[in-house]
A = this chain, B = another copy of it.
Amino acid sequence: MESSFTPFSFINKLEPAEWHALQGIGHRDIYKKGSYIFRANELNDSLYVLLDGRIKITRLSQHGRELIQWFCLPGEIFGLSVDDNSRQRGLYATAISDAKLLCIPKCDFDQYILQHPRIALLIIKQLASRLRTLGDTLLNITSDGAHIRFIKLLQRLSKFYGREHGGEVYIDLYLTHQEMADMIGVCRQTVSSMIGRMKKHGIIASTRDGICIQSPVEFQQLSEQPDNYLQHYL
């Protein structure tokens, strides 16, 4: 289980000795599907490394709307964004499948970093990369209409979770329409109807197991079309 991690794995980048030391300062824990690892307003000074399972990181608006910021796959580190003053983070982490975690108290982790400055560079790189991704998403959401938002969502997903096979790209991540809607800030029905029309046009296929982009090249071209073209073509 813990042997094959994703390309974004933090663990993969550690030397065996570093990884061993890290395990020494944390403890392992198991969370059942659907349970929270942390909540927005909890006082909580831990960091987490996901060993197995899948986590979603979300925010909640005043009015109950959920925004999914990203998914963590095995090997990734998360929970870095505790605010030192309030000791809160404004985020929720929820296990979307049973999950095995390494939990590390923040103060111990800080010590660990001081002793292993190389790791600091990894963390900085990782945070910088998330910052870029999040910024992309923000740009996408403020400046594009529903169609392009959705197309770019699929592109991000396939970049992170995609698997190519015979010219098609499979996204092995089962997401409900509601969840996708929550990632791009549109309503569920809009996602449903976009998927419906894209299926009709043979651009994507969608089943219980995930979504498949049938022609990545054509799909790429779609994302470059102006919004109003898509509205009428689709």
Residues of A within 8 A of B (CB): 59, 61-63, 65, 67, 69, 80-84, 89-91, 110, 113-115, 117-118, 120-121, 123-125, 127-132, 134-144, 184-185, 224, 226
Contact = CB atoms under 8 A, between A and B. Distances in A.
Given A131-B131, A142-B141, A185-B142, A118 B124 contact: no
Contact of A117 (B113, B142, B185): B113
Identical copies of this chain, number: 2
Given A61-B139, A142-B141, A121 B128 contact: no
A102 B112 CA distance: 30
B124 A120 contact: yes
A127 to B, nearest CB: 4
Contact of A135 (B65, B115, B134, B185): B134
Given A67-B143, A143-B65, A185-B141, A91 B135 contact: yes
Given A61-B144, A62-B224, A137 B139 contact: no
Contact of A128 (B125, B127, B129): B127
A234 to B, nearest CB: 18
A113 B116 CA distance: 11
A81 to B, nearest CB: 4
A87 to B, nearest CB: 13
Given A67-B139, A114-B118, A123 B124 contact: yes
Contacts of A61: 139-140, 143-144
Given A123-B124, A127-B131, 17 more contacts: A59-B136, A59-B139, A61-B140, A61-B143, A67-B143, A69-B135, A81-B129, A83-B129, A90-B135, A90-B136, A114-B118, A114-B121, A120-B121, A131-B134, A134-B134, A142-B184, A143-B185
B80 A135 contact: no
A135 B226 contact: no
A151 to B, nearest CB: 12
A132 to B, nearest CB: 5
